Structure 1
Amino acid sequence: MKQGNIDANAFQHYAFLADWNKAHKSNLQPVGETVLGPGRLYSDKYKSVKDIPDGGTVAVANDPTNEARALFLLQAAGLIKIKAGVTSPTVKDIVSSAKHLHVKELAADQTLASLKSVDAAVISATFVEAAGRNPNSAIYVWNANNKQSHQWVNIIAARHDDAKKWYIKALVKSYQTKEVGQYINDHNNGTEIAAWQGAPKAKIVTADTASSASTASSK
């Protein structure tokens, strides 16, 4: 897109675009928000975050954007605390853990396999679905309802000189409709949800809530 062969794309989130622009000395612009892939914590041993034992081990991806996202997820779940003011944390920025957890850094494609040996792992939906596992088997989901997760909202991007042109605005407007948002929420099994301002709200399901619903329906 930087070379002008396409007018816009819609695959990256804010954090990725910022890193890409810096690395390539570019100034591609976010012009509209699309979806968010909610961060998810999985476990083959426990059905709830509160069941993770003291001194347990949690695996996270070791690449910069995925590691930061995973650590913010663990903080939102109440499992760790990150140094104040840090926007792209690594394990070195963990200042405390109520359960004295060990956070293990792994290649992203190894996080799913690590469930055999760790207590829980933050895993990309890409790997979860590729393995035929239900994304809703997560024991915790970190959604878009906070400032820290906003940098991982996916966006439509365009070249700086094109960002305010009518056809770019028309593209964004045609994407950000109630019908498109509802389709996204209904057909992605929770791996992606519509995330622009005013988008239809998606129901977030976890192993814990699914188990509770199943118990209630069986009574």
Structure 2
Amino acid sequence: MPIKTVRIPTADGRSDAFAAFPDGGERHPGVLMYPDGFGVRPVLREMARELAGHGYYVLVPNFFYRQGPAPVIELPEHIGDEVRSAVFARLMPLIEAHTAERVLRDADAYLGFLTTQPEVAAGPVAVTGYCIGGLLATRTAAAHPGHVAALAAFHGPVDVDALSGLTAQVHLGHAEGDLTPEALGELNQALDAAGVDHTSEIYPDTVHGFTMSDTDAFDPAALRRHWDRLLPLLDRALAAT
């Protein structure tokens, strides 16, 4: 499965990124995949390669590019609970600096790059994200109605104000440690009120970060559930691409 490093021109510089896609010279539906707060690293390459194996061109940007190429800080091979707080203490200023305005400027650049690649089929694309990447994915989809046909966000915060702008089919997979059943009910009511075609559920017995195999939060059953939700969503939304 080819993986290539790319540099994407943006309004604020050039964002390093990588793309994974099937070999063979054909064109495939495009997927923009936002990393979690730890950023681009081997586990994201594994996940992008897995998704590409199902017939997608997957673009994974370093949204911290203003602070340097990925990885912007040195990360341990396994981000255990004993180092998590120290790592996040270094990353939080970068996350807080990534304002909504920056998110939308970068989204324009990422989608523009994605849709002009020779390996990407014409038509709508999908956006996925993990942790803070789920928030970026939601804002990207809301800012590009009609262009983004599918949105999937996992164990991430939700921008309720962005819901009214969504035209994509949506799946939200929440960690049990992040959202109470009562809060889930309120969120799903907001999705219904916004007319969003969605599934939104708490993954049982999970904590924040459950998809990431290089952390103590990882839950293999929840990762399988994530693929079981994500792949049919992409198939439905991008079937005509």
Q: Same fold (TM over 0.5)?
A: no
What is the TM-score when the length of structure 2 is the normalising length? 0.27
Higher RCO, 1 vs 2 (CA within 8 Å, ≥6 residues apart): 1
What is the TM-score when the length of structure 1 is the normalising length? 0.29
